[in-house]
Structure 1
Amino acid sequence: MHPVDTFELVLSLLAVVVALHWAAQRAGFPPSIALLIGGGAMAFISGLPPVELDPELALVLFLPPLVMDGAYYTALGRFRRHLPGILSLAIGAVIFTTLAVGLVVHWLVPGLPWAACFALGAIVSPPDAISARAVLHRVTLPRRLSALLEGESLLNDATGLVLFRFAVAAALSGVFDAGAALSTFIVHAFGGVAAGLAVSALWIFAVRHLRDSTLIIMANTLMCWVAYIAAETLHVSGVIATVIAGLVLGWYQHIILPARIRLRGAVVWQTLVFTLEALVFILIGFSLRGVLDRVGGIEAVTQTMAVPIIGVVLAVTVARFVWVFGTDLVQYALCAMGMTYPRPLGPRKATVLSWTGMRGVVTLAVALSLPAAMPGRDLMLVTAFAVIFATIVLQGATLGWLIRMLKPVDRDPPAQMSMAETEAAIERARAEAMEVHAYAPDGTLIHPNLLDESRKRLEIVQRYAADEEGYAEGFRLHFEVQQRTLAAGRAELLRIHRAGLIEDEVLHDLEHDLDIEELAIILQRGE
């Protein structure tokens, strides 16, 4: 395809994304499902060129920014509190699903080597961060479930990718070394953590020395790809490196980024994430045509692959239920023995958690990267597509209904301070700062307009317009005092958050209000 044609196709896909997203919102349907089905339908339109989604490009283009976005907004306190459950899902559930799918595939297709069966299991085992985000944005979950699902989606790809690489190597060579697989996984995980921390340190240094807001926003945007590519170049987990970088960015951005950069950067970042997230689903559907052409069309699929495909979809779904409910029974047993943590989820939350195993771009990219000599490659490709479609369409469309029917109760202890109490604490800190800065050292009130701003605003502007040079200094001090009180309020908000007294959502909401107020002051000063 000519480069100009490729560009025009991308523009057309973006226009389709807008139309499908709008239609899905009007119909009350999850946009991810509309995009997936719409892309699949477009793939068979006569005259449209086929789309080949390069697996390496798909991973490096889409995965880092969307994983970074999830990590950036992760409630770090809840992430740490529920880390055992997150690791159980991100490591234990992925391994268990890989084994379960491998056993089912070998039972249904006895001629397929064991290593190839487990390679297929590794392809479809990790739930996808992008698919989970797209569906979970539309539902309200208890905080513990949200923490488990967000954390799982950030970490499980690393487990699935390591399992896949070793299974493929075993299928092609006939040799599998469990010890080497375990050591490689440990090196990948801890190496990814180290790479993420190193990139984060460079980011902090760069942001503190850059003066141009556009350059800082660009540095923030590029951070996800730098972390991922640097880690993959060092042969460690790029996913984990990106997660660590996102967590660090989410933690330190409150301190080192000015309000105007945080607000401007948020718009740029949200637009980028929306575009990439939407393109992922429409390109998954669009790639269906090429896969079906390679395996001989829909007739070949229905005649020779239908039974193993249905078996894998059921195995993937049932394996997650077995793992979630099995670990919950273990937690019940531990509670009966006197252990108070971790608490069992209970059947309602366990059912919801079991039904949230949507697969997506990682499953597709890994399947497309299968070597041509891989036994059962065609079956793996079609099965990967079937699992993606079944989990996103079936589970994604019914998740909201399931939550409304089961009504899982949020039993996590609430934060010690509410939104209203936090706002009161911020205002107290700002009032105390105003008392300090509104008076001269001799006790003279030098900023009465700040004590009664609503009646003095017009007078200030008129006096400034009449005598710009004479009033410039007082006008400047007026806004400096306002900014000092804002800084005091911001410091109090961060102190409350760092002390663990409020949830991350409260921090983001109130910080956004302070940022807008500070930006208004900056604009009034003409900066």
Structure 2
Amino acid sequence: MEPTHLFELVIAMFLAIIALHYAAHRLGLPPSVALLTGGALLAFVPGLPAISVDPELVLVIFLPPLLMDGAWSIAVARLRRHVIGIASLAVGAVLFTCAVVAVVAHLIFPSIPWAACAALGAIVAPPDAVAARAVLQRVRLPRRLQILLEGESLLNDASGLVLFRFAVAAAATGAFSAAEAGGSFLVLALGGAVVGIVVGTAWFKLVRLLGDEYLIIAASVLLGWIAYLAGEQLHVSGVIATVTAGLIMSWHQHTVLSAAMRMRGTSFWTVMIFLMEAAVFILIGLSLRDVVERGGGLTTVIATMGLPMLAILVALVLARFAWVFACDFAVRFCAALGFAQARPLGVGGATVLSWAGVRGVVTLALALSLPEGFPGRDFILVTSFAVILGTVLIQGTTLGRVIAWARLVEPESERARLTMSQAEAAMAQAQVEVVQNLAYDAEGKLIHPQLLERYQRRATSIVDYAEKTEQYMPVLHAHFDVILEAVAIGRRELIRLHRAGEIDDETLLELERDLDLEELSAISAKA
């Protein structure tokens, strides 16, 4: 394919993303479902060239920034609090699911070697960070479940990648050592963490040196790829390196980035991540044609592999249920013994956590990376795609209903000690204290009376609102509705002045920015 045609396909893909997202919004579907099915339908459009996905390139392009985005936005304090539960899912659940899938695959096709069955298990075992984010963005979960799923999706790819590499090596050499695999996993994980710490610390130092906000935003965007590639070059976990660097950035962003950097950087980053997440699902859908052709055509695939694929999918889902409920039972047992920190999820929470294991791009990339001639390659490839399709279309579309059925309640221990209104009141009190100190000159004369009065009045209002939130909520909404209407009228007058030639472009842009900030502030306060 000529480079120009490839570029045209990329532009067409982004146009399809916009159209499919719009269709998903109108139909009330998760965007991931619309993108996946839309890409699958586009794959069979007559005249469209077959899309061949390079698995290594897909992982390098998409995985680091998407992992970085998850690490950047995750709640670090809650991540530390639930590290044991996250490790149980990211390592224990992956190992258990891999073993269950390997056993089921070997029972269905005894001719496929155990190592190849283990490779299939490693491919489909880890839920995907991209798919999980796409699903979780549309639902509301208690903080504990949210952090468990987010933390798992960030770290389980490392477990799956290590298992996959050892299974492929075992299939090639006929030898496997559990002790060697466990030792290698520790080395890869610890080495990746060290690389991530080095890269994250270098970013922290670089931000202080660069000064220019555009350079800092560019350096921050590149950091995920730098951490991932550095980890892979040093033969440690690029996934762990990326996540660690992202957590360091997340922790320090509030102190080293200015308001302008955060606003501009967040705007750019949000659009980039939106396009990359959407492109992942489109590429998965577009790869269906190649997967089906490898399996001998759609009719042949369904006739010969339909029941085995369904059996693998059911085993995969049941394995996660078994692991999650067994761990919750163990936590309940510990709580009965008097361990105060042990708090079970309950049937509803465990069900939601079990049902949220959606697979995606990592599963597809690992399946496509299997070498030619690998035992059972076609079956593994087709089954991997079926698992992605099944988990996204079935679990992704029904997770909201499962959450509604579970009627989950936020435990008191997970709730913040202060509400947002109370935190805002504490912040306003601190601000008024510093204004009181600076409102007087060295001789004790009041030089900023209006500023002091404004901050005192604001602090009093906020404290009063924090105590009577429900009472003041309708009035507050009406207040900010008036502000938004005033901003709209001001913008209309500003544009009229510019169109009439009474102000120049520079004045238009400066005043328009002030109105934008005022509008964003009002929208945020109203929300």
Q: Distance in 2 between matches of 1:523 and 1:24?
A: 31
- Map of 1:64 onto structure 2: 64
Give, as a single letter, the amino acid of the residue that structure 2 aligns with 1:308: P
**Paired amino acid for 1:35:** L
Check whether the contact 1:35–1:281 (CA below 8 A) recurs between aligned residues: yes
Partner of 2:12: 12
- 2:207/2:256 contact within 8 Å kept: yes
**Partners in 2 of 1:186 and 1:520 — Cα distance?**
52
Q: After superposition, where does 1:107-146 map in structure 2 within 5 Å?
A: 107-146=107-146
Structure-1 residue corresponding to 2:165: 165
Query: Per-residue deviation at 1:44?
Result: 0.1
| Alignment correspondent of 1:337 | 337
Instruction: Identify the residue that residue 442 of structure 1 maps to in structure 2.
Output: 443
Q: 2:432·2:452 contact (CA, 8 Å) conserved in 1?
A: no
Query: What is the aligned partner in structure 1 of residue 195 from structure 2?
Result: 195
Q: Supply the distance in 1 between the matched residues of 2:347 and 2:454 (Cα, whole angstroms).
A: 56
Aligned to 1:356: 356
Q: CA deviation at 1:363?
A: 0.2
SS at structure 1 position matched to 2:45: coil
Q: How high is the TM-score relative to the length of structure 2?
A: 0.85
Which position in structure 1 is the counterpart of 2:423? 422
Cα offset, 1:180, TM superposition: 1.3
Q: How does 1:176-215 map to 2 (within 5 A)?
A: 176-215=176-215
Task: Give the SS at the match of 1:305.
Answer: helix
Please say if 1:21 is aligned against 2:21: yes
Percent same amino acid among aligned pairs?
54
- CA shift, 1:522, in A, is 13
- Whole-angstrom CA distance in 1 between matches of 2:517 and 2:376: 63
The residue identity in structure 2 corresponding to 1:281 is F
Name the residue aligned to 1:451: 452
Counterparts of 1:434 and 1:117 in 2: how far apart (Å)? 68
- How far has the Cα of 1:295 moved from its partner? 2.1
Question: How far off its partner does 1:127 sit?
Answer: 0.2
Aligned to 1:310: 310
| Aligned counterparts of 2:250 and 2:156: Cα–Cα separation in 1 | 20
Task: Give the corresponding residue for 1:390.
Answer: 390
- For 1:321 and 1:522, the matched residues in 2 are separated by 48
Aligned pairs for 1:21-420 (under 5 A) are 21-413=21-413, 414-420=415-421
Q: Is the 8 A contact 1:193 1:244 kept in 2?
A: yes
- 2:494 alignment counterpart: none
Q: Is the 8 A contact 1:309 1:386 kept in 2?
A: yes
- Residue pair 2:332, 2:342 contacting (<8 A) in 1 also: no
- How far did 1:237 drift? 0.7
Contact 1:439 1:446 survives alignment (8 Å): yes
Bigger CA drift: 359-368 or 170-179?
170-179
1:21/1:31 contact within 8 Å kept? yes
The count of residues paired between Structure 1 and Structure 2 equals 461
Q: Which residue of 2 aligns with 1:515?
A: none
Q: CA deviation at 1:235?
A: 0.7
Whether contact under 8 Å (1:70, 1:150) holds in the other structure is yes
The answer for the alignment partner of 1:431 in structure 2 is: 432
Q: Secondary structure at the match of 2:12?
A: helix
SS, match of residue 317 in structure 2 = helix
CA shift in 2, pair 1:171/1:202, >3 Å = same
Please tell me the residue identity of whatever aligns with 2:342: P
Report the alpha carbon displacement of residue 115 of structure 1 after superposing the two structures with TM.
0.5
TM-score by length of structure 1 reads 0.85
Unaligned 5+ segments in structure 2 are 460-512, 519-527
> Partners in 2 of 1:167 and 1:346 — Cα distance?
35
Give the distance between the partners of 2:16 and 2:515, measured in 1 at CA. Answer: 40
Whether the aligned pair in 2 keeps the contact of 1:368 and 1:381 (CA below 8 Å) is yes
Q: Residue 143 of structure 1 contacts residue 412 of structure 1 at CA under 8 Å; is this kept in 2?
A: no
TM superposition shift of 1:412: 4.5
User: Counterpart amino acid of 1:401?
Assistant: R
Once the two structures are TM-superposed, the CA of residue 448 in structure 1 deviates from its matched residue by: 3.3
| 1:447 to partner: Cα distance | 2.6
Q: What is the deviation of 1:523?
A: 9.2
- In structure 2, distance between residues paired with 1:108 and 1:356: 26
Q: Alignment partner of 2:112: what SS?
A: coil
- CA displacement 1:440-464 (0-9 Å, x = unmatched): 111222233423569xxxxxxxxxx
Deviations 1:121-155 (A, max 9, x none): 00000000100000000001111100110110010
How far does residue 211 in structure 1 lie from its aligned partner after superposition? 1.9
1:486-520 CA distance string (max 9 Å, x none): xxxxxxxxxxxxxxxxxxxxxxxxxxxxxxxxx96
CA deviation profile, 1:255-298 (whole Å, cap 9, x unmatched): 00011101100001001100000000011000110111122111
Q: CA RMSD in A?
A: 1.7
Measured in 1, the distance between the counterparts of 2:243 and 2:115 equals: 30
Gaps of 5+ in 1: 455-484, 486-518
Question: How far 1:370 moved relative to its partner?
Answer: 0.3
